[in-house]
Amino acid sequence: MLETFLITLEALGVLAFALSGIMEAARKQFDLVGVVMIGAVTAFGGGTLRDVLLDRRPFFWVEQEFWVWALILVGLTLPFFFRATHIALTEKAILIPDAVGLGIFAAGGTHLALVAGMSPMIAVLMGVITAVVGGVLRDVLVNEVPRAFHDHQPYAAIAFAGGWVLVLLGYLNTPEYLDVAIAAILMVAMRLIAVRLKIQLFRWRFL
């Protein structure tokens, strides 16, 4: 059951990040194929790097091939839907799927690393990597400074803090899937609140 829960969660995260990649690429007037590929890189990039670092095989997208098909379908049709319904692809609209992906991937990545026997600190870092790398690749590929490093709003910081929450929850007697769910929801909420309240991280300013 935990297995099923984790796969469902990862699928949700994949979908959320795919959405953010597809929206970003459509916004930048990429072509049909470019939109699908940016979506795929955003969705699978973080988890794949995590699995390479943890030496885990097979990858999520190899084992759960259905999601590759789903992603291609969504990437090919979604922009039509946006256009038909005149939904504006503003930068702000992208923040919501991005926040959902952040929470799910950070919680899932940390959990997987803990299961693989990593120390808490390394597990938390793996969560950060899982959550951040997809979006970073997306931004690098559309030739922008990655938002996660430069938008001055907490992103990786939330993945980091949320990872430690998951580690601490692990010392309680709660079922594992509940720990992961709580940490994920907490991070999504923190991100949305941070964006809403325009909380800014301290930024360096030199002459």
149 binds its own copies (CB under 8 A): yes
Q: Which of 2, 32, 168, 178 binds its own copies (CB under 8 A)?
A: 32
Name the residue with tokens 């090919």: 76
CA distances from 187 to 36, 137, 180 (A): 27, 21, 11
Largest CA distance in the chain: 56
Using the contact rule CB under 8 A, the part of the chain among 4-12, 55-63, 96-104, 172-180 near its own copies is 55-63
What's the DSSP call for residue 144?
S
16 binds its own copies (CB under 8 A): no
Using the contact rule CB under 8 A, the part of the chain among 9-17, 30-38, 164-172, 179-187 near its own copies is 30-38
Distance, in Å, from the CA atom of 165 to the CA atom of 36, rounded to the nearest integer, reads 34
The CB-of-154 to its own copies minimum distance in angstroms stands at 7
Please answer whether residues 158 and 128 qualify as being in contact, where contact means their C-beta atoms are separated by less than 8 angstroms. Answer: no
Q: What is the DSSP string of 68-130?
A: HHHHHHHHHHHHHHHHHHT----HHHHHHHHHHHHHHHHHHHHHHHHHTT--HHHHHHHHHHH
Nearer to its own copies, 30 or 105 (CB): 30
Using the contact rule CB under 8 A, the part of the chain among 7-15, 97-105, 145-153, 165-173 near its own copies is 145-153
Q: Which residues contact 170 (CB under 8 A, 6 or more apart)?
A: 114, 176, 179
Site string for its own copies, 74-113 (x = CB under 8 A): -----x--xx----xx------------------------
Which residues bind to its own copies, rule: CB under 8 A? 25-35, 37-38, 48, 52-53, 55, 57, 59, 61-62, 65, 68-69, 79, 82-83, 88-89, 118-119, 121-122, 125, 132, 136, 140-146, 148-150, 152, 154-157, 160, 200-207
